[in-house]
């Protein structure tokens, strides 16, 4: 067997190797930014759907139909005000479980002890306090004043939804856009450290936040012309880290950031650039 030629040992002929020259090094490095996706979690339980309400109503009827009667004569003195009050509450619970139109009538404290339309004694707030009970406060409304006024800067708005902090400031090209709080990295700095520092620089020190993890959850690489890459020093990469707000509020300095808003996922989409939205839409909650 004859030994292999030099061309076959190299794996290609000189003509073939000369047809695919090696790419020239551009000399540009990656420019890395750290951005914070600051989340305010829901503060209210979600309103049940029609199916969920029907299911809970069915389970309530089944429970009321199968439970053992409560021995009122053991726990209450016959004919006492507490026994009559418990009977009234049981009547309301029966109506809640098995349906029917009913209303709870509230009495003013100035009115004396009386009898309602069912013949049950009704106690005033002072009399209930004398019986060792605290007056029951009505629940707060689920719709906040911020929702009625359209105040997007309030953390109390949209209590059932996840809200995200969006700020209005300059991007890499100096254009004023809506974006998440972000900034560059310093020498020997980790992403999560830069994210906290940049959040404080753009949104103030009146925020108590918690970075969920040290690893990014998304990355955005804008398509830049060669002139912009050379001006920046290389390809631009923005890494997003998730965080939660525990207390406080945004206080922008008016220089780097001129405005801010707490928005839902649907409200963010029309404000940001299309390529920016494509990079962050999958990390935002639909609820």
Look at the pTM and tell me if it is higher than 0.85. Answer: no
pLDDT digits (tens, 9 = 90+) for 251-276: 987 888 999 999 999 999 999 999 99
Looking at per-residue confidence, does 86 or 8 come out higher?
86
Question: Over 50: is that where the pLDDT of 14 sits?
Answer: no
SS3 letters across 86-134:
HHHHHHHHHHHHHCCCCCCCCCCCCCCCEECCCCCEECCHHHHHHCCCC
Q: What is the pLDDT of residue 21?
A: 43
Hey, what's the torsion of the CAs at 106, 109, 110, 116, to 10 degrees? 40
Q: What is the pLDDT of residue 135?
A: 67
Sequence-separated contacts (24+) of 189-197 with Cβ below 8 Å: 190/214, 191/32, 191/34, 191/215, 191/216, 191/239, 191/241, 192/34, 192/241, 194/34, 195/34, 195/35, 195/36, 195/241, 195/243, 196/36
Q: What is the pLDDT of residue 136?
A: 67
Instruction: Please state the rounded mean pLDDT for residues 158-176.
Output: 90
Maximal CA-CA distance, the chain: 120
pLDDT digits (tens, 9 = 90+) for 173-231: 778 999 999 998 888 889 999 999 999 999 999 999 999 989 999 999 988 878 878 88
Identify the band that residue 132 occupies on the pLDDT scale cut at 50, 70 and 90: low
Say if strands 207-211 and 236-248 run parallel, antiparallel, or are unpaired.
antiparallel
Distance (Å, whole) CA 101 – CA 123:
23
Say if strands 31-40 and 236-248 run parallel, antiparallel, or are unpaired.
parallel
Looking at per-residue confidence, does 253 or 48 come out higher?
48
Q: What is the pLDDT of residue 16?
A: 40
| 3-state percent helix, strand, coil for the chain, nearest multiple of 5 | 35, 20, 45
Sign of the C-alpha dihedral computed for residues 205, 208, 212 and 217 taken in this order: negative
Q: What is the pLDDT of residue 64?
A: 79
Instruction: Please state the rounded mean pLDDT for residues 227-237.
Output: 83
Closest CA to 224 of 212, 233, 236: 236
């Amino acid at each position: 067997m004859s030994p292999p030629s030099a061309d076959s040992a190299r794996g290609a002929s000189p003509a073939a190797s000369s047809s695919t020259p090696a790419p020239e090094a551009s000399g540009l490095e990656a420019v890395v930014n750290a951005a914070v996706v600051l989340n305010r979690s829901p503060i209210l339980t979600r309103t049940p759907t029609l199916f969920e309400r029907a299911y809970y109503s069915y389970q309530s009827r089944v429970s009321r139909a199968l439970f053992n009667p409560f021995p009122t004569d053991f726990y209450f003195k016959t004919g006492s005000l507490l026994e009559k009050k418990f009977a009234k509450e049981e009547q309301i619970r029966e109506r809640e479980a098995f349906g029917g139109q009913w209303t709870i009538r509230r009495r003013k404290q100035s009115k004396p002890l009386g009898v309602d339309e069912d013949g049950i004694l009704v106690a005033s707030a002072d009399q209930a306090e004398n019986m060792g009970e605290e007056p029951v406060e009505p629940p707060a409304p689920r719709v906040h004043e911020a929702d009625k006024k359209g105040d997007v800067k309030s953390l109390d708005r949209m209590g059932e939804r996840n809200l995200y902090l969006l700020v209005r400031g300059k991007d890499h090209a100096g254009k004023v856009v809506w974006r998440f709080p972000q900034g560059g990295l310093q020498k020997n700095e980790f992403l999560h450290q830069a994210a906290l520092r940049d959040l404080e620089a753009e949104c103030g020190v009146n925020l108590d936040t918690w970075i969920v993890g040290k690893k990014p959850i998304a990355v955005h690489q804008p398509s830049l012309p060669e002139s912009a890459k050379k001006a920046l020093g290389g390809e631009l990469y923005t890494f997003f880290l998730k965080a939660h707000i525990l207390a406080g509020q945004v206080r922008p300095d008016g220089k780097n950031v001129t405005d801010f808003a707490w928005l839902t996922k649907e409200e963010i989409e029309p404000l940001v650039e299309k390529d920016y939205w494509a990079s962050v839409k999958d990390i935002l909650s639909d609820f």
